Amino acid sequence: MFTSAEIIAIKDLLVPQNKIVIITHYNPDGDAIGSSLGLKHFLQQKGLQPEVIVPNDFPKFLKWMPDARKITIADYKRKQAGEAIYNADVIFILDFNASHRSGNLVGPWIEKARATKILIDHHQQPDAFDYVYSDVRIPATSQMVYHFIQALGEESLVNKNIAECLYTGIMTDTGGFRFRSTSATTHRIVADLIEKGADPAMITSNTWDTNTVSRLHLLALILGRIEVVKDGKVAILWLKRDELKELGFQKGDTEGFVNYGLSIMGTQVSAFFMEDLYEDFIKISFRSKDEVDVNQFSRKYFNGGGHINAAGGKYFKSIEETIEDFKEKMEAEEF
């Protein structure tokens, strides 16, 4: 958490006359959107008028959240986003650890901005900003936003809108409270959010019971050809660009696919490989159990990183070559 002196300094910045911008990473997920909107609603409770900016669009299943459709998407509103960042007095950087994680458009704007920059994030090796709250032990940035509100001594301002957004972020980034980083503290916070108005049944239904036909077709395809290697310890799933197009892929359709590999008895690592729709690279998602560190594995071999049990990467070969390289490198890993 921020030090007591930092909290006092940040409090002094959170005044109505200051322009506040909240930014999250490229390809925003549930925790990115939930933490950003949760913080936005909290700052509004304090009389501020913050603006949430995301580099590119996010899945439809997250757009039910309060004010989600008021988020400024930089890809669509470049001038508005750029001016807001340029004129900001304070920029909150949520759920990413370095400016370049917000993409080639927004990243340079953050670096050039004159604003005071406040990072709240749970990924490893954060860059230096004016104020940094980084803790890799916490399963979701949305939980960290709640801790931040607690540190300010303003839990009484948490209303239904804040509770719904933060609950969604915690729920999605813990895989429905399944991942090992989910702690007793996480559950206590979730209980408090429920008491403040978050409805678990509604949130779960709005977020996860929203399958499109294209998503189910894609899921059926990859599950029908899932491959298990390394004596049953590693599962591999993959999709090609032409398959995505043929089956009507929509943004967010492959969310969570990588987790199916870990549901196989005996697996400790799941890897999902997908050709990018527009650019010539392979997008990779890694998940693992126990002490198997896919963060370091991805950093070392696949231009990525993340958490010990959840990481992503990019590779610039064909999907067939990428999978073969992965198999070779994974075979050399000891676990």
Sign of CA dihedral 39, 43, 45, 46: positive
For 314, the token pair is 């990019």
- Distance between CA atoms of residues 35 and 308, nearest Å: 21
Question: Is the confidence at residue 251, as pLDDT, over 90?
Answer: no
Residue 91, classed as helix, strand or coil, is strand
DSSP single-letter state for residue 228: E
- pLDDT value at position 124? 85
Burial 8-18 (b: 16+ CB within 10 A, else e): eebeeebeeeb
DSSP single-letter state for residue 122: -
- Please choose, from the candidates 131, 123, 130, 135, the residue with its C-alpha nearest in 3D space to the C-alpha of residue 98: 123
pLDDT band at 181 (very low <50, low <70, confident <90, very high): confident
- Distance between CA atoms of residues 109 and 104, nearest Å: 9
For the chain, the residue count is: 335
Inter-residue contact 204 to 243 (CB < 8 Å): no
Query: pLDDT, tens digit, for every residue of 141-165?
Result: 999 999 999 999 999 999 999 999 9
CA angle 209, 233, 247 (to 5 degrees): 40
Give the mean pLDDT of 176-180.
Answer: 87
One-letter identity of residue 306: G
- Distance between CA atoms of residues 244 and 208, nearest Å: 20
CA-based R_g, the chain, Å: 20
Give the mean pLDDT of 112-120.
Answer: 98
Do strands 90-94 and 72-73 pair parallel, antiparallel, or not at all (unpaired)?
A: unpaired
Question: Is the confidence at residue 179, as pLDDT, over 90?
Answer: no
CB atoms within 10 A of CB 305: 22
Sign of CA dihedral 107, 67, 17, 117: negative
Return the half-sphere exposure (C-beta side, CA atoms, 13 A cut-off) of residue 63.
Answer: 12
Distances (CA, A) of 1 to 119, 143, 144, 155, 216: 11, 12, 8, 16, 41
pLDDT band at 259 (very low <50, low <70, confident <90, very high): very high
Inter-residue contact 93 to 129 (CB < 8 Å): yes
For the chain, which domains are there?
Answer: 4-208 (3.90.1640.10), 213-331 (3.10.310.30)
Give the mean pLDDT of 8-24.
Answer: 97
- pLDDT value at position 125? 87
- Distance between CA atoms of residues 49 and 51, nearest Å: 7
pLDDT band at 102 (very low <50, low <70, confident <90, very high): very high
Query: pLDDT, tens digit, for every residue of 274-301?
Result: 999 988 999 999 999 989 999 999 999 9
Question: Is the confidence at residue 9, as pLDDT, over 90?
Answer: yes
pLDDT band at 180 (very low <50, low <70, confident <90, very high): confident
